[in-house]
Structure formats: structure tokens, C-alpha cells
Structure 1
Amino acid sequence: MKLTILGCYAATPRTFTNPTSQVLEIKNRLFLIDCGEGTQVELRRNKIKFSKIEHIFISHLHGDHLYGLIGLVSSFTLLNRTADLHIYGPKGIKEIILLQLRLANSFTGYNLYFHELTSAESELVYEDDKVTVHTIPLKHRVYTNGYLFREKMGIRRLNAQAAENYGVDKVYYRNIVLGKDIPLDDGRIIPNSELTFEPVPPKSYAFCSDTIYNEEIIPIVKNVDVLYHESTFLESEAELAHKTMHATAIQAATIAKLADVKTLLLGHYSTRYDSIEKFREEANTVFESVWLADDGLSFDL
């Protein structure tokens, strides 16, 4: 897994910061998470190929998470896209996008599929042979979901030295990593466990923005490798966080601690602060492994 932050600041875009948007790469698949203003510019700046994005996940219908979507959808047409595009988001997202396309007389030259979400419970919204995506119900001023991405268990890894020691022909290597026992010419059957190593442990990434402090998400994000949790405010503005239904850095760290996640990634910072390092300092009082998202940064999970 590789995560690229295209934008991670709250409210309005500025000349040097962008609203929320991320690209998560999982085994050569690209998933776009939220699409604030300037997303397609940041995709170019970070040299991410537009054509590889086939699934877009929108958390909620506030502008700093959505207003870049119509531009991206339109640009795909100008770039002669032919591949299908799937958009997941709250009910109403189809109406928002199609209305703009209809009034502009600018329909797409590719198939556009909307998967509108209404459930208040976590649900599976996407699955292929390598990854699953579940919603994470959040509490905000409008209907909002985070998203939990989990790799599926991969194939076993070949122990080439063991295979050579047993004299196993290379034509069997594919069967070996698929878990099969291997017969030798002398009649012996070599157990697969002696010819392979365990698969690389699958990774998981949870995206949670925007939300108040909400312990109900803990069972869903339990033990994930990386939890991105909004931290719009510092603790000095805890009352404002509650009023606007956002979270503080300490509250995000508390969720991370209670959920036993491996790493907490903070983001969605209010632009009122002169340094995002303050968010790490506060979160570290509760939870040790804290990363700070910032525009243009990439993280290998």
C-alpha cells in the first residue's frame, strides 16, 4: 500500500494548502478518496496517472471534500477516457454530478456508475480479488462515511533454496506458491510448507474524516495498520470542535489508542494554526506512533 496526500486541510483551499483528497495504491490499483477543489491539479503535480483511477470514494457532500469531482469527471472526457468510472458516496451525489453535466450539455464519453450510500451501519461497498472496502459510519453535520481498505491474503512466497535442495524443477514453482504439495521423481511428496514462506501479511488503511469523537468506530478500525483520523482542532478549541462536529488531535489519538492501531495519521487541519507540528505534540501525549499528513507527502504503509 502507498498513500499519497493531495490535500489535507479543512474548509477553503489556499495558495499553499488544499482541501481533502488522497490516492491509495493497493497492488497496482488506484483508489481516490475524497475530491476537494484542486484535486486534478495535484494529481498532475504528483505525477499520478488519471487513467488508473477507476473507483472514487466520497465521504460526504461538503464542498471541501467534493467540489473537485465535477472537474475531474469532465477532464476524463476531454482526455478521451473509455474505462468505466465508479463513484461511491452519500445519496444525492448522482444528482449533483448529473445536473452539472446536463446543464453544461457535457455528458461523459465513458460509463459513469454511482453507488449511493444510505446505511447507518458498516457495509461492504467494493470487493475484488485483492482488496475489500467497507464503510465506517461517522458522526458529522451531514451523512458521512469513512472507508476501510483491507488487502486480501496474498499467495505464499517461494523458498527457492529449499526447492533447489529438493531438486524441484522450476516448472512447479507456480504450483508451489499457489499452495500445492510437489511430487518428486522418486515418489516422495514434499509438503508445501517446506517449500514456501508465509504470505506477506495483508495491510489495512482506515480513512475517517469528518467526525466528532466517536468510540462506535473502534470495533471497525481495530488493529488497522494506519488510521487517518481528522484532527481539525487542537485541544484549546475543543468546544469549537464539538460545536462544528469535528475532532481534536487528542481525541483522534484516543481513538487510535483504544483501537490498538499501529499508526495514527492526522489531517484535516484548521488553517488557523501556524504549525501542524502542534497536532503531533498533542496527540503524542496519548499515542506514540503519530504521522502528520501534508500536501504532497507519500507514505508507504
Structure 2
Amino acid sequence: MKFEVTILGSSSATPIFHRNPTSQILNINEKLMMIDCGEGTQQQMLRYGIKYHKIDHIFISHLHGDHFFGLIGLISSMHLNGRTKALNLYAPPEIQEILELQFKYSGTIIKFEIAYHFTQVKERSIILETNDLIVETFVLNHRIPCTGFIFKEKERLRKIDKEKAEELNIPQQYYALLKKGIDFVDGNGVTHKAVDLTFDPDEPKTYAYCSDTVADGSYDIHIEGVDTLYHESTFMHDMVDRAKETFHTTSLEVAQLAKKQSVKKLLIGHFSARYRDLTPMLLEAKEVFPNTYLAQEGETFMI
């Protein structure tokens, strides 16, 4: 099962040094989901071969411009390209007024449904469940209401040991039952245990996305043990006072959090315009949490 994230934007506040404001694409078995949609997201999609029509779900963490100013343009392009299927938008409630006001004064009548799913900012909640995936929000601490997202694969079915199944002449139509753990009884009344005819499935993966927030410990429990954590890392730790003042996090604080919560892999992004060279920021984090990577444009990471 494919489960990977591609970085479209990694800059905070403004585009600079060939870095664009925040946006990411999750690819789950070739079904694409967008997380945040900063200015320039469409150009990045074109650059990295992301198809408009494959995106059915967009998640907006909060309503600071560097996280959603690309949304109106993206929706307009979907409209102009003839989209007819619904687009699911998970965002603070005010996003509907913002979009509809722009459509109103531009005389735009969108040809497809925008299904609004308003995010909660007071408690953790499930906002999407599919056959393969559960998506939850949790509360972050920023200057305006802001949510993090956790994307969790569901438990997978067991894998058929085809060699053993064929030896026993088990009908292929029974394979689906074996995958669910249901034993097979042959024509002689002999029971063959499903566990002996299948392999253990891969462990389900989890991806946590922490947008803008101060590192206050309030959300730590929600990311415990995740396979991959993306976390904003706007400043290096010598700017920790500035980070707290603006409700952001330093690379050192993020690394300490990842270590404390037994995260397996850490991606840092949302870099301040004061940093042209991101190497010192990466090294600062790696000193505490070695399995840290820069979430830079065009990079794709397996969850």
C-alpha cells in the first residue's frame, strides 16, 4: 500500500529563496489529499506532476494566509478544467464565507459541490473515515484557532500464502474469508486454520501534521509513536523568545518533542525567511533526534 507525502511548500509567511508557503500532498494508493494550500501551490503541482482531478480532499489547518491563500485559485482552476465531482474541504467554519464572497464578486458559479467539513478547535475529533484510513484533528496553540491532523491507516487484512492455498485446492473466492481470519474446511471435513494459510499484514502507518503552534506540551500525547511527524520549525533555538512571541516552534523544541514521544521519523518545515541556508537548523534538530529531515519542495517521503 502506497503511503507517502510530497512537499509542495516549506516557507513561512512569504515565498522566498525558491521556497513556497506551506502545502503538501498525501498519496494513499494513488488517492491524493492536500494539506494546506499556500500561495503558489498550483505552480508547484504543475512542477511536480500533481493532477487536479485526483484531489478529492483538502485539509486547511488554520486561516493565516500562508496556509490557504492558494485555495481560491486552485478551486477556480478545477472549475475551469471542468470538474464535476464534489470536493471535500476540511477547514475552520469561516472558510465558507471567505470563498463564497470571492465567488460572489467575481461572478463565479462553481460547477461542482464544495462539501464543507468544519474542523473542531476544542477537542480531538474524527473528520474522515474511509475503507483504508481514519483522519483526526487535534488542537494546536497558535494565535488563531489551529488544528493538527493525524492520518491513520486502518488494520490491514492478512496476506494469502498462495503456495499453501493452491496445494489444498482452496477456491480463490474463499481467499477473501481467509484474509479476514476465517478458517477453511475442506471436503473431508478437515479444518485448515486461516493463520496457517496467510501471512501477517504490514503494520498500519500513521502520519501526523503539526501546523503553526507554540511548543507548550498540550498536544504531545496526540503524536505519540507516530511513524512520521511533520512539525513546523520556524526558528532556530537562539530565537526561542521570538518563537514564543509569535506562537511558533524552534527546531530544537521539535526534536525534543519527537524524542520524548517516540516518533519514528521527523520532518521539519515552515522555515522563517531569515534562513537562506537551512543546514544549521537541520543539524540543531539532528543533535537531539537523528532521524530528522528537511521538508523541502519536491521531496517525497515514505510514511
Q: TM-score range by the shorter chain?
A: over 0.9
Aligned positions of 1:161-200 closer than 5 A: 161-200=163-202
**8 Å contact kept, 2:151–2:207:** yes
170-179 or 270-279, larger mean C-alpha shift: 170-179
Q: TM-score, normalised by structure 2?
A: 0.96
List aligned pairs for 1:252-263, cutoff 5 A: 252-263=254-265
Aligned residue in 2 for 1:114: 116
Q: State whether structure 2 residue 12 is matched by structure 1 residue 19.
A: no
Residue 24 of structure 1 aligns with an amino acid whose one-letter code is L
Distance 1:232 1:113 in 2: 32
Which residue of 1 is the match for residue 6 of structure 2? 4
Normalising by structure 1, we get a TM-score of 0.96
Please name the residue that 1:137 is paired with: 139
Q: 1:37 aligns with which of 36, 39, 47?
A: 39
Q: What CA deviation, in whole Å up to 9, does each residue of 1:149-200 have, x standing for no partner?
A: 1011111101122223434344433332232211222221101000001111
CA separation of 1:143/1:289 partners in 2, compared to 1, >3 Å: closer, same or farther? same
Root-mean-square deviation (Å):
1.3
Question: Is residue 143–residue 246 contact of structure 2 (8 Å, CA) maintained in 1?
Answer: yes
Assess if the C-alpha contact under 8 Å between 1:27 and 1:130 holds in 2.
no
Aligned twin of 2:50: 48
Quick check: 1:216 aligned with 2:215? no
Number of residues paired by the alignment?
Answer: 301
The answer for the alignment partner of 1:147 in structure 2 is 149
Query: Matched residues in 1 for 2:253 and 2:284: separation?
Result: 10
- CA distance in 1 between counterparts of 2:92 and 2:275 reads 31
Deviations 1:57-112 (A, max 9, x none): 00111110010000001111100001101111112111111100111010210011
Q: Which secondary structure state, in structure 2, belongs to the residue aligned with residue 216 of structure 1?
A: coil
Cross-structure match for 1:79: 81
Instruction: Indicate conservation of the 8 Å contact 1:77/1:108, yes or no.
Output: yes
Structure 2: tracts of 5 or more residues without a match: none
**2:156 partner letter:** G
Shift of 1:243: 1.0
Q: Does 2:158 correspond to 1:156?
A: yes
CA distance in 1, matches of 2:27, 2:217: 28
Larger displacement relative to structure 2 (10-19 or 55-64):
10-19
Contact 1:9 1:270 in 2 (8 A): yes
Corresponding residue SS for 2:219: helix
Residues 94 and 116 in structure 1, CA contact (< 8 A), matched pair in contact too: no
Q: 2:245 aligns with which of 225, 243, 250?
A: 243
What secondary structure does 2:134 align onto?
strand
Following TM superposition, by how much is the alpha carbon of 1:15 offset from its aligned partner in structure 2, in angstroms?
A: 6.3
Per mean C-alpha deviation after superposition, the further-off stretch among 154-163 and 226-235 is 154-163
Aligned counterpart, 1:267 = 269
